[in-house]
């Protein structure tokens, strides 16, 4: 499975989690995500997600103007966003638990199988 | 709160920081978003955000293609899909503005010419006036559609298309005078043209704040 496809589904939750820590602007958000290991997030792909969750009322943006430097839009979590993040964490924990269970069980089975072949060869 | 006009000015200013290659790709994104059916303010805010991101990326020796991907048109579609749509009243307001602006220039020019050269004065057909009015709505509408089509196309086809638009703006009024039947001819005094133009001047000034708030 394409790594970026897998990432797409969890990107929204990760963005909410980063914004929860402190109000963040687009570029900073990308840097934080990639520093924490989500390197395969292409830089621009955060913006459609930001627009969508802004439309859903999970985050809100405030433009902070500076006289000669860049104008940055800082995103912060709304109450609705906090609820969504809590739900995401809960669902993720359940999902991550079951997925690793399935994957690890599969691996131990396979190991057992390999072991069996190995011992038969002996 | 900053107005859309301030955003546009700021964008023009900040865009100068881009390299030629990045400017070209960003310019197409700008064209695509501005000609899409999206809320103007939301669109300009997003364009500003993308521009600042690109400038920071450029400082780290990254290119527009690293930021927006290899298919910028597809990327733009995904952005436009998520932006709020422009409301019907603000769309109507925009076309009223364009229409009034066109009529202002037409009547202003006609009034001044007839004042300066009274010998050129001649009756004008109401049917022609109506057709002119229709032009002032159809030309901007066609230009917006064309703009979106032209984003991400080659520089040469862009130039060819805009030459076509310029030519039609010049030639269509002649075509109307020569080909359209002239019914309901009226004689309008030059001062009437000028007064209407002045009223429309005030009107468009007032409307401008609403259209580009």
DSSP sequence for B81-116? HHSPPPPHHHHHHHHHHHHHHHHHHHHHHHHHHHHH
Cα(B186)–Cα(A89) distance, integer angstroms: 75
- Taking the CA of residue A12 and the nearest CA in chain B, the distance in Å comes to 14
B180 closest CA partner among B141, B127, B143, B144: B127
Rounded average pLDDT over B149-158: 87
Cα(B197)–Cα(B113) distance, integer angstroms: 13
Of A26, A43, A72, the CB nearest to B66: A43
- Spell out the SS3 assignment of A69-107: CCCEEEEEECHHHHHHHHHHHHHHHHHHHHHHHHHHHHH
A16 closest CA partner among A44, A43, A56: A56
Residue appearing with tokens 């602006």: B101
Percent of chain B scoring above 90 in pLDDT: 55
- Taking the CA of residue B76 and the nearest CA in chain A, the distance in Å comes to 9
Cα(B194)–Cα(B85) distance, integer angstroms: 38
User: Does B53 score more than 60 pLDDT?
Assistant: yes
pLDDT band at B197 (very low <50, low <70, confident <90, very high): very high
User: Does B191 score more than 80 pLDDT?
Assistant: yes
User: Does B164 score more than 60 pLDDT?
Assistant: yes
For residue B80, give the chain A residue with the closest CA.
Answer: A48
User: What is the set of domains in chain B, with CATH numbers?
Assistant: 4-82 (1.10.1900.10), 88-211 (no CATH)
* Per-residue pLDDT reduced to its tens digit, B62-112: 999 999 998 999 999 999 999 999 999 999 999 999 999 999 999 999 999
State residue A6's pLDDT score: 76
In a mutagenesis test of the A interface, which of B56, B83, B85 is the best target, namely the one with the most A β-carbons within 10 Å?
B56
Of B55, B82, B83, the CB nearest to A70: B55
Q: Provide, as residue numbers in chain B, all residues whose Cβ is less than 8 Å from the Cβ of A63.
A: 2, 45
Pick B54 or B2 by higher pLDDT. Answer: B54
Task: Give the CA radius of gyration of chain A.
Answer: 20
Q: Are A74 and A64 in contact (CB under 8 A)?
A: yes
Tokens describing residue B203:
């009107």
Of A27, A51, A71, the CB nearest to B56: A27
For residue B54, give the chain A residue with the closest CA.
Answer: A27
Pick B155 or B88 by higher pLDDT. Answer: B88
**CATH architecture observed for domain A3-121:** Orthogonal Bundle (1.10)
> Using the beta-carbon criterion (under 8 Å), do A48 and B50 form an inter-chain contact?
no
B207 closest CA partner among B70, B94, B69: B94
Instruction: Tabulate helix, strand, coil % of chain A (nearest 5).
Output: 70, 10, 20
State residue A113's pLDDT score: 52
Q: Provide, as residue numbers in chain A, all residues whose Cβ is less than 8 Å from the Cβ of B78.
A: 48
Size of interface A-B (CB pairs under 8 A): 55
State residue A1's pLDDT score: 56
Percent of chain B scoring above 70 in pLDDT: 99
Which residues on adjacent β-strands are paired with residue A25?
A74
* Per-residue pLDDT reduced to its tens digit, B100-133: 999 999 999 999 998 888 888 888 899 999 999 9
Rounded average pLDDT over B25-43: 94
- Taking the CA of residue A107 and the nearest CA in chain B, the distance in Å comes to 36
B194 closest CA partner among B104, B101, B108: B108
Q: pLDDT truncated to tens, each residue of chain A (122 aa)?
A: 566 677 777 899 999 999 999 999 999 999 999 998 887 677 899 999 999 999 999 999 998 877 667 788 999 999 999 999 999 999 999 999 998 889 887 665 555 554 444 444 44
Average pLDDT, chain B: 90
DSSP annotation string for B8-53: HHHHHHHHTTS-HHHHHHHHHHHHHHHTSSS-HHHHHHHHHHHHHH
Tokens describing residue B107:
């009547």
Locate the domains of chain A by residue range. 3-121
């Amino acid at each position: 499975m394409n790594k970026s496809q897998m990432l797409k589904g969890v990107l929204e939750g990760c963005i909410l989690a980063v914004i929860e820590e402190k109000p963040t602007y687009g570029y900073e958000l990308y840097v934080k995500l990639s520093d924490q290991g989500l390197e395969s997030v292409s830089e621009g792909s955060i913006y459609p997600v930001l627009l969508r969750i802004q439309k859903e009322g999970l985050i809100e943006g405030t433009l902070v103007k500076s006289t000669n430097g860049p104008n940055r839009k800082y995103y912060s979590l709304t109450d609705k966003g906090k609820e969504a993040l809590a739900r995401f964490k809960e669902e993720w924990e359940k999902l991550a638990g079951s997925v690793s269970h399935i994957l690890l069980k599969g691996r131990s089975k396979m190991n057992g199988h390999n072991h069996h072949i190995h011992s038969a060869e002996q | 709160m900053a107005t859309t006009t301030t955003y546009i000015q700021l964008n023009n200013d900040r865009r100068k920081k881009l390299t030629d290659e990045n400017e070209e790709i960003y310019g197409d994104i700008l064209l695509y978003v501005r000609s899409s059916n999206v809320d103007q303010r939301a669109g300009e805010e997003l364009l500003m955000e993308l521009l600042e991101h690109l400038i920071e990326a450029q400082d780290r020796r990254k290119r527009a293609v690293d930021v927006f991907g290899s298919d910028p048109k597809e990327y733009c579609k995904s952005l436009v899909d998520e932006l709020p749509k422009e409301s019907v009243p603000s769309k109507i307001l925009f076309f009223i503005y364009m229409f009034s602006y066109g009529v202002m220039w037409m009547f202003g020019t006609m009034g001044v010419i007839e004042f300066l050269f009274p010998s050129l004065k001649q009756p004008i057909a109401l049917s022609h006036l109506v057709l002119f009015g229709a032009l002032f709505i159809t030309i901007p509408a066609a230009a917006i559609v064309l703009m979106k089509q032209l984003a991400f196309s080659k520089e040469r086809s862009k130039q060819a298309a805009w030459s076509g638009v310029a030519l039609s703006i010049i030639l269509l009024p002649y075509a109307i005078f020569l080909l359209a039947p002239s019914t309901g001819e009226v004689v309008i005094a030059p001062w009437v043209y000028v007064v209407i133009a002045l009223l429309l001047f005030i009107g468009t000034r007032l409307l401008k704040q609403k259209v580009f708030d």
